[in-house]
Chains A and B, each alone.
Chain A
Amino acid sequence: QVQLVQSGTEVKKPGSSVKVSCKASGDTFSSYPMSWVRQAPGQGLEWMGGIIPIFGTADYAQNFQGRVTITADESTSTVYMELSSLRSEDTAVYYCARGSGGWYVYWGQGTLVTVSS
């Protein structure tokens, strides 16, 4: 049974950075794409980017280029998403999800990031 467990709620100041983790268990970690999707309050889903841990290089959505960094640690089966230069519009629930051919069967429980002065 695949499980994705994310780190807890974060409250950040505008201009700062946040790093959210997602630990996978129950299956082979390295060969599956891992992505991050966010959802602002009352809004839809927004794909941020993804990484295949065994390759180590990440791809990012245009909206986040230069502000987001996705990394993976194969030794701990954990993927990370760091978002910098935070602004109020980045307040959202951030989900990690495990890809399979481009679609996502397994999702983390979500991490609420609140950006407020």
Chain B
Amino acid sequence: EIVMTQSPATLSVSPGKRATLSCRASQSVSTNLAWYQQKPGQAPRLLIYGASTRATGISARFSGSGSGTEFTLTISSLQSEDFALYYCQQYDNWPPMYTFGQGTKLEIK
């Protein structure tokens, strides 16, 4: 099983600043990586797939990068609605044996 490790567990950033979230895979997943945002009581929302492609309707303030085992989600100019939980997910296996990271909580500083 591919283990996904996110860091940090909690990130405190001021509104208007930039946040950088990391995700590491225990083995290469190429660019088969997605990022999700989740707010309390809601289902996750897809932000990024293919490591760097924004999903439909996602603000350009969200950007993803990386390949292999190291990935980054960057949120520029943080707005109040961006403070939430963020998860990475790898989908490199076939047959599918997908896994999520444990999440990063982005909180207001």
Chain A residues close to B by CB (< 8 Å): 33, 35, 37, 44-47, 50, 59, 61-62, 95, 97, 101-105, 107-110
Minimum CB–CB distance for A92 against chain B, Å: 13
- By the criterion CB–CB under 8 Å, are B102 and A44 in contact? yes
CB-nearest residue of chain B to A6: B43
Knowing A62-B97, A102-B98 are in contact, say whether A95-B34 is a contact too (CB < 8 A): no
Q: Chain A's interface: helix, strand, loop or mixed, by majority?
A: strand
Whether A102 lies near B43 (C-beta < 8 A) is: no
Bound-state Cα–Cα, A103 to B92, Å? 10
Chain B residue numbers with a CB within 8 Å of A61 are 1, 97-99
A101 touches B91 (CB 8 A): yes
Interface residues of B, dominant DSSP: loop
Q: Complex Cα distance A62/B44, Å?
A: 23
> Which among B56, B89, B96, B102 is the interface contact of A33 at CB below 8 angstroms?
B96
- Residue from B32, B44, B45, B100 within 8 A of A46 (CB atoms): B100
Please report B residues at the A interface, Cβ cutoff 8 Å: 1, 32, 34, 36, 38, 43-46, 49-50, 55-56, 87, 89, 91-92, 95-103
Which chain A residue lies CB-closest to B55? A105
Give the chain A neighbours of B1 by CB distance below 8 A. 61-62
* C-alpha gap A107/B43 in the complex (Å): 6
Contact A102 B44 (CB under 8 A): no
Assess whether B49 is in contact with A107, with CB atoms less than 8 Å apart: no
What A residues does B89 contact at CB under 8 A?
Answer: 45, 47, 103-104
Please name 18 pairs of A and B residues whose Cβ atoms are closer than 8 Å in the assembled complex, sorted by A. A33-B96, A35-B96, A37-B44, A44-B100, A47-B89, A47-B97, A47-B98, A50-B98, A59-B96, A61-B97, A62-B1, A101-B49, A102-B98, A103-B89, A104-B34, A104-B36, A105-B56, A107-B43
